[in-house]
Amino acid sequence: MKYFIVTYGCQMNVHESEKIAGILEKLGYTPADKREEADIIVFNTCAIREGAEERVFGNVGNLKKLKKIKKDLIIVLCGCMTQKETTAQKMLRTFPFVDIVIGTFNLPKLGDYIAAVKKGRQLEIWQEGEIDEILPYKRTSGDNAWVNIMQGCNNFCTYCIVPYVRGREKSREEQNILNEIKDILAEKKYKKITLLGQNVNSYGKDLKNPISFAKLLKDICALDGDFTLSFMTSHPKDLTDEVIDVIASEDKIEKYIHLPAQSGNNRILALMNRKYTREKYLSIIEKIRAKIPNCRITSDFIVGFPSETEEEFNDTLSLVKQVQFDSIFAFMYSPREGTVASKMENQIPQSVKNERVNKLLNEEKRIQKETGKR
């Protein structure tokens, strides 16, 4: 019995696919080299932008032929897209050959769903779930081991679907994280540990005995072993001086921060509900550069947010010029059903979004040539 997993989206999903692989291997499945050889195919989906969803729809559609040839093939859809009830229903209607559609919180029970599939098609979407600590991971990222430290997000940036499909922030107990990392280090296969969370800087605030992200970083660095530690993603509003100091002082921590700015304009930042200003963002960058002179800094930007004017977009261009990031990701704003921004007036035409994203990426290329950063 063989499995094949198709993963869309961010590192969180890549890591979650390692969990899915762990579950399937425990059930006796082994990896298939290609989907044609698989007895079970899992699509771990992403909902962050419309483009991601369209790709999933196209690729799941292509499985119809395979299922015709191989009647016993089990097809599973999971991840952020399927956590949305309306999308999950639409997927079941569009793809009658799919066997299991489950939400992000149902994953621990994947084995039960597979066992039950012989009785008929399965659709289940829980609205909340506990962080499960018992699953084995099948680590697949070379000498890097991903370690999830929290799930969900409380920020509700107005463009973002994540809080709706991943729930509220829930931190793992520090001891569980330390134990997992000790086990990883004991295997002696991994040189790098990367901590994952939607907003790692607010780690620990929700625990019964709250601890700070800075303390977690220090405690991990105190573990025996030769490894580098990094983390993503940081939210500018929560990146404390203490965290910057720990990055500066701990040799094991990689001198790298991914710090999504999203926009360089204060009106747009407020509309996005980012809870910082351009000036605050720049002051954090200054602090990082003063305390960690060799620190690489990267960022995410969204262009064409509802009502963004050309001048406001120019503020994003000027921020990129001013900071001289090591690299940036630039995204065209994509309305996500159920989010606040999708209902805002004055949505920007696609042609303008295209123009702005190209301008931003060209500016970034020009800066990198000039500064020799790439």
Indicate the helix (H) or strand (E) that contains 35: none
CB-CB neighbours of 175 under 10 Å: 9
Give the footprint of ligand 5AD on residues 263-302 (CB under 6 A).
Answer: 300, 302
Among 15, 19, 166, 336, indicate the residue that binds ligand 5AD (CB under 6 A): 336
153 binds ligand SF4 (CB under 6 A): yes
What is d(CA 327, CA 363) in angstroms, rounded to the nearest whole number?
11
**Is residue 233 reached through a cis peptide bond, with omega within 30 degrees of 0 on the bond before it?**
yes
155 binds ligand 5AD (CB under 6 A): no
Binder of residue 263, out of ligand SF4, ligand 5AD, none (CB less than 5 to 8 A by kind): none
Which of 262, 174, 260 has its CA nearest to residue 218? 174
Pair 339, 158: CB distance under 8 Å: yes
Give the footprint of ligand 5AD on residues 43-62 (CB under 6 A).
Answer: 48-49
Looking up tokens 């790692």 gives: 200
Binder of residue 104, out of ligand 5AD, ligand SF4, none (CB less than 5 to 8 A by kind): none
Give the footprint of ligand SF4 on residues 194-213 (CB under 6 A).
Answer: 198-199
Q: Which residues of 182-207 are buried (b: 16+ CB within 10 A; e: fewer)?
A: eebbeeeebeebbbbbbbbbbbbeee
Among 16, 333, 356, 367, indicate the residue that binds ligand 5AD (CB under 6 A): 333
Which two tokens mark 21?
Answer: 């692989």
Backbone angles phi, psi at 296, to 5 degrees: -80, 140
151 binds ligand SF4 (CB under 6 A): no
Name the minimum Å distance from CB 221 to ligand SF4.
25
What is d(CA 195, CA 188) in angstroms, rounded to the nearest whole number?
18
Binder of residue 199, out of ligand 5AD, ligand SF4, none (CB less than 5 to 8 A by kind): ligand SF4
Give the footprint of ligand SF4 on residues 154-183 (CB under 6 A).
Answer: 155-157, 160, 162-163
Q: What is the largest CA-CA distance in the chain?
A: 62
- Options 57-65, 72-80, 105-113, 327-335: segment touching ligand 5AD (CB under 6 A): 327-335
Size of the site for ligand 5AD (CB under 6 A): 12
- For the window 231-260, what string marks contact with ligand SF4 as x by the rule CB under 6 A? ----x-------------------------
CA dist 206 to 142, 151, 212, 233, 239, Å? 32, 11, 10, 18, 17
What is d(CA 282, CA 148) in angstroms, rounded to the nearest whole number?
29
Name the minimum Å distance from CB 359 to ligand 5AD.
16
What does the DSSP assignment read for 330-358? EEE----TTSSGGG-SSPPPHHHHHHHHH
Which CB sits closer to ligand 5AD, 35 or 49?
Answer: 49
Binder of residue 48, out of ligand SF4, ligand 5AD, none (CB less than 5 to 8 A by kind): ligand 5AD
Give the footprint of ligand 5AD on residues 158-177 (CB under 6 A).
Answer: 159-160
Give the footprint of ligand SF4 on residues 112-131 (CB under 6 A).
Answer: none
Pair 113, 78: CB distance under 8 Å: no
- Options 70-78, 267-275, 311-319, 332-340: segment touching ligand 5AD (CB under 6 A): 332-340
Strand partners, 194: 146, 230
Q: Which residues bind ligand SF4 (CB under 6 A)?
A: 153, 155-157, 160, 162-163, 198-199, 235
Q: Which residues bind ligand 5AD (CB under 6 A)?
A: 48-49, 159-160, 260, 262, 300, 302, 331, 333-334, 336
